[in-house]
Amino acid sequence: MADSIKKQMTVGIFFTAIAKYSNIFISLIVTAILARILSPEEFGIVAIATVIIVFFNMLTEIGIGPAIVQNKELNKDDLSNIFSFTIWFGLILTIIFILLAKPIAIYYETPILEPISYYLSIAIFFNSSQIVPNALIYKDKDFKFIAVRSFSIQFFAGIIAVVSVFLGFGIYALLINPILSSILLFIISYIKKPIKFKLYFDIKALKKILSFSIYQFLFNLINYFSRNLDKLIIGKYLNNTMLGYYEKSYRLMMLPLQTITHVFSPVMHPIFSDYQNDFKKLSDSYLKIVKLLAYIGFPLSVLLFFISKELVLLIFGMQWGKSIPSFEILSFSVGFQIILSTSGSIFQAANSTKIMFLSGVLSTIITVLALFIGVFYFENIEAVSTGIMISIIINFFQAYYLMYNIVFKSSIIKIIKCIFPPIVVSIILFLFLYGINYITLDLNMFISLSIKSIFSLLFVTFYLQFLKIYDIKGMIYKLIRRK
């Protein structure tokens, strides 16, 4: 990786990691408190509304944010016109969502969904309004500001959510974070990057980013259904309680992505977009990231399988025990997801959102097929989890085939060579943890979790150092010297 890329990635990942890990810690505390007061059914109800809100937020975005980051020729007038469009479009979609609130509640036979939808509609407008100023901050690679902003919003919204649940807000306490976060994100971003609003905007500015943004939007649309149809189908055809259990297992499984790839991905597109005309440099640099993520993701996947019981019960409480089997199954997909979640940034940086959309279509077909089999044939969340896990692995290979064979005119074999050694390490770790799991069966859950986690960390660290894959000892020594 070139020195300039390495330096920018290091700075970006450092500040993004600080914010992300702090946010995850805050989120876990807030969720742990709310999960002990509110019921699985209440979480299931809000999960339905949240899925629909995410869909509307995606409609407001229509690929504009990444397109602004990618395009280096937009002037102030262009940005003003695009910003004005997002304001008006966000307002229209907010009104549409308000009108749909009652039909949504009737469809799911859950009356409380109507007022919940009214409140959540606020987030749609502000999420649309912040698109342009937020994209400009990323375009400037101002990762320090982004980190401080993210932590401040999450901390403040978390406190308000906890206070509200103790004041008796009940299920409405779950709405605090999405609503308040969207408002604060817009205010802070706009103060940082003020943009002139026009009552009438020129559509020509949108045409400049249309070829990129349209396929980005279509990918987001198809990816939305791929990621969220499971919750909508389970909530309708099984029940809200089962959805609550599934949502918790899925959310816990997604934590590694938030912890790892969501630190890399926001940094990758702004940096790699500078190399959109040099595919070899882009490809070679990305392979180094894939290798690193593979050595993190696959061993972590094994560890999560063996600490599933401890994690679920310690974080959410004993009443969430039925989430454990689903989490165990989903944990096998974590390694593949950690790597796959960064692929979008590379498709974007290579100006290949059309191929990314094609990958999204294939992904959705495979995922929906697996979901329908789990819900309508087996009729339980364990079968759904198994289908989702298998579909993620299949989609991993189709996505990277398209990226390397079609976009980079290279070969997917390069990716396979990167992930094969980490998978071997993970298999060895699985055998060790299988034995340790029997030893720790009767121990306190926290002690059991600590033993398995520490052993896994030491095992992987020793392996990487002994085979000189990464000089971890040297990295630690350099860090100590700097301090």
Q: Report DSSP state, residue 174.
A: G
- 196 backbone dihedrals φ, ψ, rounded to 5°: -70, 130
- Please give the structure tokens belonging to residue 259: 């912890």
Tokens 């085979």: give the residue. Answer: 467
Pure H helices in 276-380: 279-306, 308-316, 324-331, 334-340, 343-349, 353-372
- Rg of the chain over all Cα atoms, to the nearest angstrom: 22
pLDDT value at residue 476: 64
CA dihedral 446, 450, 453, 456 (to 10 degrees): -140
Measured between alpha carbons, how far is 61 from 131 in angstroms, rounded to an integer?
Answer: 7
Over the range 377-415, which residues count as b (16 or more CB within 10 Å of their CB) and which as e? eeebbbbbbbbbbbbbeebbeebbebbbeebbebebebb
pLDDT value at residue 483: 47
Write the pLDDT tens digit of every residue in 213-272: 788 888 878 877 777 777 778 877 777 778 778 888 887 888 777 677 777 777 777 777
Measured between alpha carbons, how far is 285 from 265 in angstroms, rounded to an integer?
Answer: 14
Contacts (Cβ under 8 Å, ≥6 apart) of 349 = 70, 268, 269, 272, 273, 275, 276, 282
Measured between alpha carbons, how far is 168 from 171 in angstroms, rounded to an integer?
Answer: 9
- Please give the structure tokens belonging to residue 232: 């909508």
pLDDT at 1 over 70: no
Average pLDDT value for the chain: 84
Q: What DSSP letter does each residue of 408-457 carry, written as one string? A: SSS-THHHHHHHHHHHHHHHHHHHHHHHHHHHTTTS-HHHHHHHHHHHHH
**Residue 436 buriedness (CB in 10 A; 0-12 / 13-18 / 19+):** middle
- 74 backbone dihedrals φ, ψ, rounded to 5°: -75, 135
Output the 3-class SS for 112-131. CHHHHHHHHHHHHHHHHHCH
Q: Report DSSP state, residue 350.
A: T
Side chain identity at residue 13, one-letter code: I
Mean pLDDT on 376-381:
84
Write the pLDDT tens digit of every residue in 18-37: 777 777 777 778 777 777 77
Mean pLDDT on 322-335:
92
pLDDT at 211 over 80: no
Residue 294 binned pLDDT confidence (cut-offs 50, 70, 90): very high
How far separated are the first and last CA of the chain, in Å rounded?
25
Estimate the share of the chain in helix, then strand, then coil, as percent rounded to the nearest 5: 85, 0, 15
Measured between alpha carbons, how far is 460 from 314 in angstroms, rounded to an integer?
Answer: 25
The segment with the largest mean pLDDT, out of 72-86, 191-205, 215-229, 398-412, is 398-412
Biggest distance spanned by C-alpha atoms of the chain: 69
pLDDT value at residue 459: 94
pLDDT value at residue 431: 95
Q: Is 71 in contact with 212 (CB distance < 8 Å)?
A: yes
